[in-house]
Amino acid sequence: SQTIHQWPATLVQPVGSPLSLECTVEGTSNPNLYWYRQAAGRGLQLLFYSVGIGQISSEVPQNLSASRPQDRQFILSSKKLLLSDSGFYLCAWSVGGLEQYFGPGTRLTVT
Amino acid sequence: GENVEQHPSTLSVQEGDSAVIKCTYSDSASNYFPWYKQELGKRPQLIIDIRSNVGEKKDQRIAVTLNKTAKHFSLHITETQPEDSAVYFCAASYNDYKLSFGAGTTVTVRA
């Protein structure tokens, strides 16, 4: 069966520091991969999605970037964090259809 | 892109009663409509979905209905139980890869 991992689970970073969040999927090949952000008490905002290695589509212009160096690995990065980057970051995957399944998430607090 | 509106934002029901959440979407080309349940601090979980060639789908105590002409779909939970308390999100696809989410409904089941 498929499993999705995210790390770290929680992170506290100062404003202006860099960020790297990692997502990996097991048990499937060539998944579509997604990064979402959820602000406290809010809905899900799609940040990036990828349909293959090196293929990244950005949904919202912002302080973040994404990369997909391997088939089942998706990385979210920032060079300099802003206070507004705080939130719950969720990675999701789908294969062969529209059903998306979420990872456990990373709770980021920028101080 | 797709715009999804979800109502109500909060819903309180007595245990055993039914709960109904409604969503509308803007893009008539949307063809896939999932519902997610998110418990506090956890990842969203896919609980049921419906495709545009189907008008209704049921899975035990939950059901989803779709009215393509009116561009709205609804989640129905019957015989609510305390474990149904959570935030529920509707979503609609607007291409083969992406989902647009509603803002969420916080459901509280009173014992």
C-alpha distances out from residue A108 to A4, A38, B1, B6, B19, Å: 19, 10, 28, 27, 33
Distance from the B97 Cα atom to the nearest Cα atom in chain A, whole angstroms: 6
pLDDT in tens, A57-108: 988 867 899 999 999 999 999 999 999 999 999 999 998 768 999 999 999 9
Buried b (16+ CB within 10 A) or exposed e, A50-79: beeeeebeebeeeebebbbeeebebbbebe
Phi, psi of A38 (to 5 degrees): -125, 110
Predicted confidence (pLDDT) per residue in A11-20, tens digit = 999 999 999 9
Q: Which chain A residues are Cβ-neighbours of B103 within 8 angstroms?
A: 42-43
User: Could you say which residues from 25 to 64 on chain B have a Cβ atom under 8 Å away from some Cβ of chain A?
Assistant: 32, 34, 36, 42-46, 49
Smallest Cβ–Cβ distance between B98 and the set A49, A102, A103 belongs to: A49
**B3 at interface of A, judged by CB pairs closer than 8 A:** no
Q: Whose structure tokens read 């109904």?
A: B20
pLDDT tens, residue order, chain B (111 aa):
789 999 999 999 999 999 999 999 999 999 999 999 999 999 999 999 999 888 999 999 999 999 999 999 999 999 999 999 999 999 999 777 789 999 999 999 999
